[in-house]
Structure 1
Amino acid sequence: MASLQDQLLKAGLIDAKKAKQANKEKRKETNVARRSNEEKVDEIKQSAEQARLEKAERDRELNRQRDLELQQKAIAAQIKQLIENHRQKKGAGENDVEYNFTHGKLIKKIRVSKTVQEQIVRGVLAVVQLGEGYELVPRIVADKIAQRDEGAVVVANTKTTQQVEEDDPYKDYVIPDDLMW
């Protein structure tokens, strides 16, 4: 079987001089490539490798996001379980009072008994958010919830001893810590 060049010569489409010139050019190119020791870059392989690396990076990012979402769901389930297992009765009845507190920029209120209100003020009980509502849990449980998610604990009062300066003109006037507003 004759080469394409021979077939073109027989058909008269190219002459012998042009065929010799083409062979000479081809030999020169191969010699230059061989002498320079430059490897021919296979663009297809290079682009395939680049695409594979990009896909691997996308997969890693998607896996990281999925793991983060699963972790957040697990923390939310733990918080819900802690609240449901340790919620305290609000004691609301005929002699109940409204306990006002702030949640974000909003002022919220729950109806509790007078003793429960005193426990919230002293820091024995804490107010936590469960779904759209609010529940009361012991302070120890509220601390465990806060370790998992700070935003779930709405009110967690602590008793602080205030230092009174010697030259304070209002040092004899005590500010009540259960001031209702």
Structure 2
Amino acid sequence: MMGLADQLLKAGLVDKKKVKVVHQTKGKQEKDNRRAGIEAVDEVKLAAQEQQRQAAEKARLANAERDAAARQKAIAAQITQMVQQNKQSKGKHGDIAYNFTFGTKIERIYVSAAVREHLVAGRLVIVGEGGGYELVPRVIADKIAERNPDIVVRVKQTTTAVEEDDPYAAFQIPDDLMW
């Protein structure tokens, strides 16, 4: 079989020099095409790697969210368990209204006189849990506050010390004053 270049040489339409130049040009083009093909494969490979990296990042974020939700659920379960195991009675005759602030609202529970004294002294603390309010010892309230400080009601302790410059020092506030 004779190639086109051989036929053109026999016919005298081209000389050996032009055939050689055409072969060199053709080889160079094939070489350039192979290089371009290799680069295209690298681009495809890089795109695949980027897509794989993005998928791994998305999976990592989903796992982190799931783990955080599980931690929150475990903390809520711990708080509920601590409150249920350590809740104190509000007294047999809860006839005294005890007002406190929970978040931005003023709330009220009815307690006995002895329980009110424990609340004022800080021995009992109010915890907002499950839509209601329970009384727990201060030690337990501190443990709950470590996990979720927003549900623990802190009663500000009043000081009975009188300042020297206080113009109202002669007027004492009664202990049973209700607001």
TM-score over 0.5 for the pair: yes
What CA distance in whole angstroms lies between the structure 2 residues aligned with 1:165 and 1:142?
32
Structure with the higher fraction of residues in helix conformation = 2
What CA distance in whole angstroms lies between the structure 2 residues aligned with 1:25 and 1:127?
89
| Structure possessing the higher radius of gyration over alpha carbons | 2
Question: What are the Cα deviations for residues 130-164 of structure 1, in whole angstroms up to 9, with x where unaligned?
Answer: 211110001111011001110121x2335454765
| Equivalent pair of 2:79/2:144 in contact (CA under 8 Å) | yes
Which consecutive residues of structure 2, in runs of 5 or more, have no partner in the other structure? 5-13
Shift in Å at residue 24 of structure 1?
2.1
| Equivalent pair of 1:97/1:113 in contact (CA under 8 Å) | yes
> Normalization by structure 2: what TM-score?
0.75
User: Which runs of structure 2 are paired with 1:142-153 in the superposition (5 Å)?
Assistant: 142-153=141-152
Among the aligned pairs, what percent are the same residue? 46
Secondary structure, aligned partner of 2:49: helix
Shift in Å at residue 72 of structure 1?
0.5
What CA distance in whole angstroms lies between the structure 2 residues aligned with 1:170 and 1:77?
49
Structure 1 segments (4+ residues) deviating >3 Å: 20-23, 31-34, 158-166, 171-179
Partner of 1:157: 155
Shift in Å at residue 174 of structure 1?
3.8
| Equivalent pair of 1:92/1:113 in contact (CA under 8 Å) | yes
Shift in Å at residue 102 of structure 1?
1.4
Partner of 1:67: 67
| Equivalent pair of 1:100/1:109 in contact (CA under 8 Å) | yes
* 2:52 equivalent to 1:52: yes
> Normalization by structure 1: what TM-score?
0.74
Which consecutive residues of structure 1, in runs of 5 or more, have no partner in the other structure? 7-15
